[in-house]
Amino acid sequence: RIRQYTTLTWNLSTKHLKFYRLANEVFYEVDKSLITMNRFYPLVLGVPLTDAFSTTFYYMYQRKRSVASDNWSTGHIIGTSIKF
């Protein structure tokens, strides 16, 4: 499997927002010669809470391919990560 993750980030350095990011992640199955998943992140926001603690909020649109039927399923995901 090959995974390609591409991002474009704008550093904001404001009191409430650290950065805005746009990203796309593609998964390619070498043995099947197929792209099997695509994750598009149109909204990723970095929020500083303290000097040593921050969190990231994101919205992700995900598409997965069923290799058996060649159909794509989709999902909308809202998530967060914490960094300290």
What are the pLDDT digits (tens) for 21-32? 999 999 999 998
Residues constituting the chain: 84
Of 70 and 77, the structure prediction assigns the larger pLDDT to 77
Nearest partner of 45 among 1, 69, 14, judged by Cα? 14
- Are residues 27 and 7 in contact, defined by beta-carbon separation less than 8 angstroms? no
* Angstrom distance (rounded) from CA 63 to CA 52: 35
In angstroms, the first-to-last Cα distance of the chain is: 31
Segment holding 57, helix H or strand E: strand 54-65
What are the pLDDT digits (tens) for 28-50? 999 989 999 999 999 999 999 88
The pTM of the full predicted model, rounded to 2 decimals, is 0.86
The pLDDT of residue 13 is 80
Least confident residue range of 11-15, 36-40, 74-78, 79-83: 11-15
